[in-house]
């Protein structure tokens, strides 16, 4: 649930950033297209009324009638103003619905007189954008101001492009992040125990190496010792080919331990089985150098320290002792703790090696459970 919530929050953040980025990069181009459309529309409007603005075509008192007619019949037209070459206003009028404030009208007219607004361009006034189209109709210049907004087609195009871009951008980044997270998820996961369980990692309270090797209980395996030649090492295989090649539990343990020991140069690897009462561990196999040992000792480890080890392993904790020279890795089958694999080495075992060993032991829980069921039967 927490991972899903994190993913949702991350997706929203990435989508917001991508939408903002797209708007900043794409909108100027959309705006230029809309300016061209406004320019063509303004030319059509002027062509309809051009005869009225020819020299001496109208008397001065007739201009208000024509301009008022333009404001009422031309969609989006906000202001029309005729200014002569001396900066005098021949006549000017605004669409009071589009520009309700008289102050805004005066500001626009003053800017037109002082040539502060470029022809065929947009400008901002009181948080609203306008478009100016000016035509020289000697002896005066006719200025037509339109409210600037994207038409329906451009607006739909802009929104569609933004959604597609942000979706692809977000999907790509989520995929990239998931791939990176998958790589880093292979790192060693060492659970931090509670304060009461911290003594599990204290060497004074841990079972000694000698005790772990000497106090063992037998399992249902007849042979006691088997020396093997290094030539029996099974080469690397895929997980599927391993399943086909492994004939029994013993050969699987030997092949897996032998491959791990040679690949990562480890001195000793042991497999411990958790007893039915879940209070003691029994060593059942050990690969020591080139010797593969099947243990038949009659004693099991059963003390307070061992219980603490089992509790820590049950929390899926990888226990690191002796400065990283001894590692205890829990073995699970469907969330049930079956035992542990211990690594003893003269040199420190790195976190990377531990992570790779855990990958190699991924199938061990299934095979160990099968062996337990077979012996129980």
The top-level CATH class assigned to 2-152 is alpha beta
pLDDT digits (tens, 9 = 90+) for 256-285: 999 999 999 999 999 988 877 777 888 888
- pLDDT for res 267: 92
Q: CATH for 195-376?
A: 3.30.450.40
- pLDDT for res 342: 93
- In this prediction, the residues of the chain whose per-residue pLDDT falls under 50 are 187-237, 241-246, 298-299
- pLDDT for res 329: 93
Whole-structure pTM value: 0.39
Mean residue pLDDT of the chain comes to 76
Yes or no: say if 325 and 347 are a contact pair by the CB < 8 Å rule.
yes
Please give the structure tokens belonging to residue 199. Answer: 């003594």
- pLDDT for res 117: 85
For the chain, strand residue ranges (E) read: 77-84, 89-94, 122-125, 128-137, 140-147, 225-227, 268-274, 281-288, 291-294, 319-321, 326-333, 336-344
Residues contacting residue 77 through CB under 8 Å, at least 6 positions apart: 45, 70, 71, 95, 98, 144, 145, 146
Domain ranges of the chain: 2-152, 195-376
- pLDDT for res 373: 76
Whether 2-152 and 195-376 share one fold: the answer is yes
- pLDDT for res 165: 86
- pLDDT for res 59: 60
């Amino acid at each position: 649930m927490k991972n899903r919530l994190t993913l949702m929050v991350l997706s929203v953040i990435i989508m917001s950033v991508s939408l903002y980025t797209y708007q900043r990069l794409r909108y100027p181009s959309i705006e230029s297209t809309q300016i061209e459309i406004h320019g063509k529309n303004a030319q059509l409007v002027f062509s309809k009324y051009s005869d009225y603005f020819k020299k001496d075509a109208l008397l001065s008192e007739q201009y208000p009638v024509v301009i008022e007619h333009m404001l009422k019949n031309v969609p989006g037209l906000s202001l029309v103003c005729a200014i002569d070459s001396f900066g005098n206003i021949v006549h000017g009028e605004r669409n009071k619905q589009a520009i309700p404030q008289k102050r805004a009208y005066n500001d626009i007219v003053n800017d037109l007189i002082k040539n502060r607004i470029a022809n065929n361009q947009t400008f901002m006034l009181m948080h609203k954008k306008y478009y100016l189209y000016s035509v020289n109709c000697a002896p005066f210049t006719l200025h037509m101001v339109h409210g600037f907004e994207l038409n329906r087609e451009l607006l739909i195009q802009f929104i569609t492009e933004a959604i597609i871009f942000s979706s692809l951008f977000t999907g790509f980044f989520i995929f990239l992040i998931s791939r990176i997270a998958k790589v880093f998820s292979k790192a060693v996961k060492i659970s931090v125990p509670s304060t009461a369980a911290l003594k599990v990692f204290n060497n004074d309270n841990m079972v000694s190496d000698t005790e772990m090797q000497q106090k063992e209980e037998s399992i249902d395996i007849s042979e006691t010792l088997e020396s093997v030649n290094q030539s029996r090492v099974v080469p690397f295989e895929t997980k599927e080919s391993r399943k086909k090649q492994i004939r029994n539990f013993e050969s699987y343990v030997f092949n897996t331990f032998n491959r791990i020991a040679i690949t990562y140069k480890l001195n000793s690897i042991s497999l411990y089985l958790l007893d039915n009462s879940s209070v003691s561990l029994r060593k059942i196999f050990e690969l020591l150098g080139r010797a593969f040992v099947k243990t038949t000792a009659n004693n099991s480890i059963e003390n307070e320290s061992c219980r603490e080890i089992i509790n820590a392993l049950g929390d899926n904790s990888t226990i690191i002792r002796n400065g990283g020279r001894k590692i205890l890795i829990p073995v699970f089958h469907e969330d049930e703790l079956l035992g542990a694999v211990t690594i003893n080495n003269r040199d420190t075992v790195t976190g990377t090696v531990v992570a790779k060993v855990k990958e190699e032991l991924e199938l061990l829980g299934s095979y160990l459970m099968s062996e337990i069921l077979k012996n129980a039967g």
